[in-house]
Amino acid sequence: MSVGILTLIIVCLSGPQISIAKEPQVTVGVLKFGTVNWELNVVKHHKLDFKEGYNLLVKGFGGKNATAVSLQGGAVEAIVTDWIWVSRQRFAGRDYTFVPHSVAVGGLVVHPDAGINSLKDLRGKKVGIAGGPVDKSWLMLRAYAKKTIGIDLKEIVEPVFAAPPLLNKFMLKGELPVVLNFWHYGARLKAAGMKEIVRVIDLLPGLGVKRRPPLIGWVFSEVWAKSEPKKIQSFLRSLRAAKTILEKSDAEWERIKPVTKAKNESTFIALRNAYRLGIPQSFGDGDVAAAETLFKVLAKYGGKDLVGNSTTLTPGTFWSGFRY
Domain 25-102+214-307 has CATH 3.30.1360.200: no
pLDDT at 8: 41
Q: Given this chain, do its domains 25-102+214-307 and 107-207 carry the same CATH topology?
A: yes
Distance linking the first and last C-alpha atoms of the chain: 68
Nearest to 281 by CA among 37, 99, 103: 103
DSSP conformation letters of 173-199: TTS-SEEEE-HHHHHHHHHTT-EEEEE
- 28: β partners: 58, 78
pLDDT at 131: 87
pLDDT at 22: 82
Express each pLDDT in 156-183 by its tens digit: 999 999 999 999 999 999 999 999 999 9
Query: pTM for this structure?
Result: 0.91
Helix (H) or strand (E) holding 253: helix 250-260
CA dihedral sign of residues 71, 73, 74, 75: negative
pLDDT at 6: 41
- 318: β partners: 98
Chain centroid to CA 89: how far?
18
pLDDT at 21: 52
Per-residue pLDDT of the chain in tens (324 residues, 90 and over written 9): 544 444 444 434 444 443 345 889 999 999 999 999 999 999 999 999 999 999 999 999 999 999 999 999 999 999 999 999 999 999 999 999 999 999 999 999 999 999 999 999 999 999 999 989 999 999 999 999 999 999 999 999 999 999 999 999 999 999 999 999 999 999 999 999 999 999 999 999 999 999 999 999 999 999 999 999 999 999 999 999 999 999 999 999 999 999 999 999 999 999 999 999 999 999 999 999 999 999 999 999 999 999 999 999 999 999 999 999
Helix (H) or strand (E) holding 131: none
Express each pLDDT in 283-320 by its tens digit: 999 999 999 999 999 999 999 999 999 999 999 999 99
Q: In 15-160, which ranges are continuous DSSP H helix?
A: 36-45, 48-51, 64-72, 83-91, 136-148
**Distance (Å, whole) CA 299 – CA 134:** 10
Ordered by start, the domain boundaries in the chain are 25-102+214-307, 107-207
Q: Which residues of 158-196 are buried (b: 16+ CB within 10 A; e: fewer)?
A: ebbebebeebbebbeeeebbbbbbbbbbbbbbbbbebbe
Dihedrals phi, psi of 123, to nearest 5 degrees = -55, 125
- Percentages helix, strand, coil for the chain, rounded to the nearest 5? 50, 15, 35
The answer to whether residues 221 and 96 touch, using CB atoms and an 8 Å cutoff, is: yes
CATH number of 107-207: 3.40.190.10
pLDDT at 19: 36
- 25: β partners: 55
